[in-house]
């Protein structure tokens, strides 16, 4: 494979080599920067002032791990995203310290780390919050067993929680004055971003950026759905009835989902739209932000079924936005997107091929790193397995990119910290300033894994310096190099790990969600609840977005064997077009078109099931049913066409066969 690809007037690096250089863009999260500045440094200062080194170190770790999860969102999403990982992580710290106190030899930790790593890796496949929870639990288990600090296990866990709760309190207290919307300002802002993304998608219908715009719309819709779902959950936990403004916001979200469904049908039709069409969603977004009526919306134009459905949905949204009280039908009937942590989803992903293989990879990498560390440096062995935990996570980029950025970032952090230690060697108070500055940089560092590694290295070195390990800097660089080599080798062992397993499983799951949506469209009686269809549609698009993200990670992996050379993008693109065509079918039927025949619909649904089973390794590709003829329904005909494209694309992929099983 060539290292450089030359084009007219430019030189393009291959994806596996270019990925370490990629930076995410976006505005500086100033509120999170302020919280980071006031988190690690102050709690360390409090611990040192009280003469409690263990509090300074463990509470500092608490602010660091909470800072990993201090992401944009509403106050309730912040409580879940920060609270769940640190709460479970505190249990890992408690178990680690309790076991370390009970057993004197260090080699006992290997079977414990293998077992926890196996479960942590498998759980990480469920979703982003579960992934951070599994990673932090394993990291804190390592810290509890490897960082020597005085105190009882339960007191250490409380110190850690104190630091995490301090940052969470800052998240709840330090926020800008409430804009228009009052208590619902965060949820209204999330819904406004849905309308912004919808307008952006309508601007590029029929153009080359349509699919990317649709994916941005899906992401915005999922974030808005999460915000409303968590508000509903917290209200029910408080046994409080819904207020009128909450019901009205739920109705507006339902109107947004109907508009998004119609827009997916417009994307399927691929006919460029007049510029004024996107002005409707933009005015709805401005109305949410300003608390004013949206004003006049574009005139309807029933030129196609999808355009007619969109105009009807826009008219309904205008009626909903004109209300100051909820409608006659309770908006509580609008079902939210199924949470990624439901029992069937957890069981399917944890026990599925992706969960088993990723769990095994995490367990082997972390255990091997700990064994090498114990053999080389039994007194400070924790850094190697800690490094391995971060390196082995696939949802933060390809393996080669993670290894390169981890080593370069650690080297930069070590050099900066060693320079500060040489200049400011008197006392430990300078480490408080170092931790404060690094804490402020942490939210900005999420744009690049190497920068994030540098910032985290500064903070961790500051903590262990306060704990008495003043010679950690150079040793940690050597440990990082060793861990990088271990993970790089294990991650590319032939026959041990399959880089395509996760993306194949997600593609199969997305096709099953598409099949459920299409089956509902074809069998639901007239006048049924549209909310049920909306839930199935959002679940399918959400899983499709996750599958494409996994495909992008696999595409940027270092070419190493057959598994790394598979091209999943044609499968992902065809799967997205299948869902667009299924949405268009639903819109056409809703507009009065004739239902496809039972035989045509049943054949397509069975083909989707067979394709999903083949991607999951349950059945061979040769067992797919043949699709005979072309359905009379235009959108179903498109589904059949894309299914044939996927069959050709998957025929060229290297898929691992597994025994058939039921879930």
DSSP character string of 46-98: HHHHTT-HHHHHHHHHHHHHHHHT--SS-HHHHHHHHHHHHHHHHHHHHHHHH
pTM: 0.85
pLDDT at 561: 55
Cβ-proximal residues to 302 (8 Å cutoff; 6+ apart), any chain: 308, 311
| Least confident range of 394-403, 583-592, 605-614, 626-635 | 626-635
Q: Taking the mean position of all CA atoms in its chain, how far away is CA 177?
A: 29
pLDDT digits (tens, 9 = 90+) for 251-260: 899 899 989 9
Segment 407-418 mean pLDDT: 92
Distance (Å, whole) CA 7 – CA 191: 42
pLDDT digits (tens, 9 = 90+) for 84-124: 999 999 999 999 999 887 665 678 889 999 999 999 988 88
Segment 549-575 mean pLDDT: 75
Q: Is the pLDDT of residue 461 over 70?
A: yes
Tokens of residue 226, six digits: 């999460």
**Would you give the DSSP letter of residue 176?**
P
> Nearest CA to 598 among 627, 626, 631, 639?
631
Label residue 562 by pLDDT band (50, 70, 90).
Answer: very low
Cβ-proximal residues to 109 (8 Å cutoff; 6+ apart), any chain: 99, 100, 145, 146, 370, 374
Ramachandran sector of residue 512 (left: φ over 0; alpha: ψ -120 to 50; beta: rest)? alpha
Segment 155-178 mean pLDDT: 88
Segment 145-170 mean pLDDT: 91
634 contacts 268 by C-beta, under 8 angstroms: no
pLDDT at 498: 65
pLDDT at 624: 57
Segment 653-661 mean pLDDT: 45
pLDDT at 625: 61
Label residue 294 by pLDDT band (50, 70, 90).
Answer: confident
DSSP character string of 141-160: HHHHHHS---S-HHHHHHHH
> Nearest CA to 273 among 285, 263, 283?
263
Who wins on pLDDT, 236 or 7? Answer: 236
Segment 450-476 mean pLDDT: 86
Q: Is the pLDDT of residue 527 over 70?
A: no
pLDDT digits (tens, 9 = 90+) for 311-338: 999 999 998 998 877 765 544 444 455 5
The dihedral of CA 92, 94, 100, 102: what is its sign? negative
Q: How many CB atoms lie within 10 A of CB 645?
A: 17
Count of CA atoms in the C-beta half-sphere (13 A) of 138: 36
């Amino acid at each position: 494979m060539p290292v450089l690809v030359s084009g007219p007037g430019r030189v393009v690096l291959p994806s596996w080599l270019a990925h370490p250089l990629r930076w995410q863009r976006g505005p500086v999260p100033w509120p999170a920067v302020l919280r980071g500045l006031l988190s690690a440094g102050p709690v360390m200062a409090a611990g040192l002032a009280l003469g409690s080194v263990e509090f300074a170190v463990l509470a500092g770790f608490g602010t660091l791990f909470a800072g990993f999860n201090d992401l944009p969102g509403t106050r309730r999403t912040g409580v879940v995203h920060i609270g769940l990982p640190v709460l479970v992580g505190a249990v890992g710290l408690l178990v680690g310290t309790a076991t370390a106190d009970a057993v004197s030899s260090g080699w006992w930790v290997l079977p414990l780390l293998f077992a926890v790593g196996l479960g942590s890796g498998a759980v990480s496949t469920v979703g982003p919050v579960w992934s951070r929870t599994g990673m932090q639990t394993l990291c804190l288990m390592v810290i509890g067993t490897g960082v020597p600090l005085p105190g009882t296990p339960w007191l250490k866990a409380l110190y850690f929680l104190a630091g995490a709760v301090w940052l969470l309190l800052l998240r709840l207290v330090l926020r800008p004055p409430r804009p228009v919307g009052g208590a619902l300002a965060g949820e209204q802002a999330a819904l406004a971003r849905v309308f912004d993304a919808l307008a952006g998608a309508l601007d590029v219908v029929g153009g080359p950026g349509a699919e990317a715009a649709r994916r941005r719309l899906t992401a915005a819709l999922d974030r808005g759905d999460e915000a409303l779902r968590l508000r509903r959950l917290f209200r029910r936990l408080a046994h409080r009835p819904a207020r009128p403004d909450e019901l009205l916001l739920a109705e507006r979200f339902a109107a947004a989902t109907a508009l998004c469904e119609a827009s997916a049908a417009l994307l399927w039709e691929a006919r460029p739209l007049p510029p004024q069409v996107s002005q409707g969603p933009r005015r709805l977004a401005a109305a949410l932000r300003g608390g004013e009526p949206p004003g006049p919306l574009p005139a309807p134009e029933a030129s196609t079924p999808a355009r007619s459905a969109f105009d009807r949905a826009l008219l309904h949204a205008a009626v909903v936005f004109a209300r100051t009280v909820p409608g006659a039908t309770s908006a509580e009937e609008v079902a939210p997107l199924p949470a990624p942590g439901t029992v069937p989803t957890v069981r399917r992903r944890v026990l599925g091929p992706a969960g088993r293989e990723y769990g095994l990879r995490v367990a082997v990498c972390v255990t091997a790193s700990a064994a090498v560390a114990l053999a080389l440096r039994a007194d400070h062995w924790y850094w190697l397995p800690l490094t391995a935990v971060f390196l082995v996570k696939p949802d933060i980029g390809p393996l080669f990119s993670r290894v390169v950025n981890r080593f370069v970032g650690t080297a930069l952090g070590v050099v900066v910290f060693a320079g500060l230690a040489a200049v400011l060697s008197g006392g430990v108070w300078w480490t408080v300033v170092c931790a404060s500055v690094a804490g402020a940089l942490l939210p900005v560092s999420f744009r690049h894994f190497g920068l994030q590694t540098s910032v985290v290295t500064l903070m961790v070195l500051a903590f262990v310096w306060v704990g008495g390990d003043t010679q950690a800097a150079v040793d940690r660089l050597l440990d990082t190099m060793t861990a990088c080599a271990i993970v790089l080798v294990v991650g590319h062992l032939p026959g041990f790990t399959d880089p395509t397993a996760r993306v194949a499983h997600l593609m199969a799951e997305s096709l099953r969600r598409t099949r459920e949506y299409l089956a509902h469209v074809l069998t639901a009686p007239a006048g049924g609840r549209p909310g049920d269809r909306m839930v199935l549609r959002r679940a399918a698009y959400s899983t499709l977005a996750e599958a494409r993200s996994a495909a992008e990670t696999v595409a940027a992996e270092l070419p190493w064997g057959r598994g790394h050379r598979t091209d999943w993008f044609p499968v992902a693109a065809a799967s997205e077009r299948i869902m667009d065509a299924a949405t268009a079918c639903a819109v056409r039927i809703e507009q009065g078109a004739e239902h496809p025949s039972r035989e045509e619909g049943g054949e397509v649904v069975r083909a989707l099931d067979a394709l999903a089973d083949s991607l999951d390794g349950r059945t061979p590709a040769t067992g797919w049913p043949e699709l005979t003829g072309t359905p009379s329904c235009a959108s179903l005909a498109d589904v059949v066409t894309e299914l044939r494209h996927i069959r050709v694309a998957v025929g060229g992929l290297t898929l691992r066969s597994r025994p058939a099983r039921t879930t």
